[in-house]
Chain A
């Protein structure tokens, strides 16, 4: 898109330069301490909390005119949120946009990691509703800070223990807690547990923005990200025993789609770009 098509009266990428500088400072600190939540002065954005205000501020702070942006929501490029945010940056920053994972330099995501492996030089920006992994286990925020500072994560393991004792398995299927670099417990945002192994030693930079909670955290490239588990109950990402009805993939994460009111259902790849590429290659 040409620069002439960008909105007049707005700074490049919507946020003013001072705000971007503040967010970049928080990002640098977050990258320096993998998995540690860094507070930042989250701004009001032209979309409601819960729609990606954190992710959009991080993207606005790291994107440059030469970047190519991809935005996905639940893996899909064509959902409302993804289309809106992509068009937003096309209008306020005039950056090129794409739906191809391999062509993008910045990928903003809600609830998925693309199936196509990311490479060095790419940045994956997550939208995070609740950055605190101990949320629901410890109601006092001040106390969770203390637990992080002291590396005292027995509480999280008690939760896993209780799941196995009651259900026979860990019942967390999304936002599955991870240890980053052997130090900080981190909420990977509500991505399916299926995607957790992709975070481990990913060549791309992973940035997490929580707008309402005003926290930024990061996983630098090639950082160890380990899902919590027990030695005799190892972490096993759940996946339906089915193939994509469109591309036939048995490796990708699938959405279950109800097709009629008589119990008919199909499984489809949640990553639309991955599915389309596989079909095009046939």
Chain B
């Protein structure tokens, strides 16, 4: 694996939902250890792009290439469901906006974190528990609550649990869809802090979808701004946000409410 080869590369992605273009000739590259935010308003195609990139949705045209830990280039579409599932549970992680989509609410917190370990073959109960306790600690959940059900957790705790469950198998690439959506601002700030520390500490590549410019500013190295399925602007986060070139980005930046 070389640092100058992208971990994920998409070329010429197009997708239409009937007459509505969700993606229009989108190209994207993510390098190892880099956080890329996809920014745009509701309906701009950013979640569709995330789903296409992660193989959950087939594109009409274009290709997505993933470079795995061994350095082999895997086409995300067309390598089969089994290969995709293997990637999804070993080298990738998903953090959903709604923690209920990413957690098993009737399984204890420890079981939720342990599930990914068991899915990749961990068969030592004590080892799984120790790893789960360690990860709960890292996401600032009291390990004493390990055997509690996530449905009894607060929204912020559920989201942190989801992050622990995702990162426990040390993925190389994490897809995040509005990870701080639906949380109040103080909880959101702590979660962002946590994500930033974990991502930097583990050297993860992250593809982050958000409509929140503050989230993008805090987490992302690079920004991709989307509108009506097209990438209208991309570049380093500070450059795009401080000196927006495209009129839509200018509108987006200027519409942030100051407290």
A residues touching B (Cβ–Cβ < 8 Å)? 146, 149-150, 152, 154-155, 157-158, 161-162, 164-166, 229-233
Q: Assess whether B18 is interfacial by the CB under 8 Å rule.
A: no
Q: Assess whether B85 is interfacial by the CB under 8 Å rule.
A: yes
Interface size class of B (residues with CB under 8 A): 20 to 34
Residues of A within 8 A of B81 (CB): 146, 150
**Nearest 4 pairs of A and B residues by beta carbon:** A154-B119, A230-B125, A157-B118, A231-B124
Chain B interface mostly = helix
The answer to whether A158 and B85 touch across the interface, beta carbons within 8 angstroms, is no
Other than the given A154-B89, A162-B107, A231-B124, 14 more pairs (CB < 8 A) read A152-B89, A155-B115, A157-B123, A161-B110, A161-B111, A161-B118, A161-B125, A161-B128, A164-B125, A165-B129, A230-B123, A230-B125, A232-B126, A232-B127
Q: Assess whether B147 is interfacial by the CB under 8 Å rule.
A: yes
> What's the least CB distance linking B194 to chain A, in Å?
25
The answer to whether B114 and A161 touch across the interface, beta carbons within 8 angstroms, is yes
- Can you name 5 A-B pairs with beta carbons within 8 Å? A158-B107, A161-B111, A166-B108, A229-B123, A230-B128
CA distance A162 to B150 in the complex (A): 13
Given A150-B82, A150-B85, A165-B147, A231:B123 Cβ within 8 A: yes
Chain B, residues 140-165, CB within 8 Å of chain A (1/0): the string is 00000011000000000000000000
B residues touching A (Cβ–Cβ < 8 Å)? 81-82, 85, 89, 104, 107-108, 110-111, 114-116, 118-119, 123-129, 146-147
Chain A interface mostly = helix
> What's the least CB distance linking B137 to chain A, in Å?
17
Residues of A within 8 A of B127 (CB): 232
CA distance A164 to B126 in the complex (A): 11
- Which of the residues B82, B89, B104, B146 comes within 8 Å of A158, measured between beta carbons? B104
The answer to whether A165 and B123 touch across the interface, beta carbons within 8 angstroms, is no
- Which of the residues A152, A158, A229 comes within 8 Å of B114, measured between beta carbons? A158
The answer to whether B124 and A154 touch across the interface, beta carbons within 8 angstroms, is no
The answer to whether B123 and A158 touch across the interface, beta carbons within 8 angstroms, is no
The answer to whether A152 and B119 touch across the interface, beta carbons within 8 angstroms, is yes
> What's the least CB distance linking A160 to chain B, in Å?
8
- Which of the residues B110, B118, B125, B147 comes within 8 Å of A154, measured between beta carbons? B118
> What's the least CB distance linking A220 to chain B, in Å?
25
- Which of the residues A150, A165, A232 comes within 8 Å of B108, measured between beta carbons? A165
The answer to whether A232 and B124 touch across the interface, beta carbons within 8 angstroms, is yes
- With CB as the reference atom, state the residue of chain B lying closest to A165: B147
The answer to whether B115 and A230 touch across the interface, beta carbons within 8 angstroms, is no
Residues of A within 8 A of B118 (CB): 154, 157-158, 161
Residues of A within 8 A of B114 (CB): 158, 161
> What's the least CB distance linking B124 to chain A, in Å?
5
